[in-house]
Chains A and B, each alone.
Chain A
């Protein structure tokens, strides 16, 4: 859950 990490949400 870091702010600019991998974005798994669409």
Chain B
């Protein structure tokens, strides 16, 4: 293997991450397949559109927070993550958890009709109109569609999620070398699996090229939250989940 990592070790890393991913997904692949064509009716979409802006924001903040709790659990089960110093564990999760949520979201996205699972059924972008941030919503939908186009397997989604989370690009890491070693192994494992699964030799490069978009989406989310908070400070302070505020405020 590359850099003195044996194939046995890469395989162990891959198996651990895939298992961690499958154990911490909100929905199994089977559940998502069963739901895939259950879409919100016209009346249900109208109902979302008719909600006050702050109510829908709160609802989305709760959903995101819920998804993040699963991502924290995913991180904890990755071999080596809990061996990082606590500063770096917190830093990686704080800066990467929403990116992982967005990667995981492609599992619950139907690219054939551009709908996403929200509140039990699938619905399109128009469902989120009342949020008042069409740019962010359409960018998130575009991202999900572009990731779906790569037709990743569950194993690849797992390894890519881990690679996004365990990243040396985050500022203020205390032990960047330790994070780098772990990240390199994850990438080797991802590369190995993708070479096996895809005819397209550039599949990994295409996947990696989505990372800047991920980070741009998170920046946009922070900006939209700040703009929302200026208009609805009470909603954020009183009604938003404490974990959401801790991570994004």
Whether both chains belong to one complex is answered with no
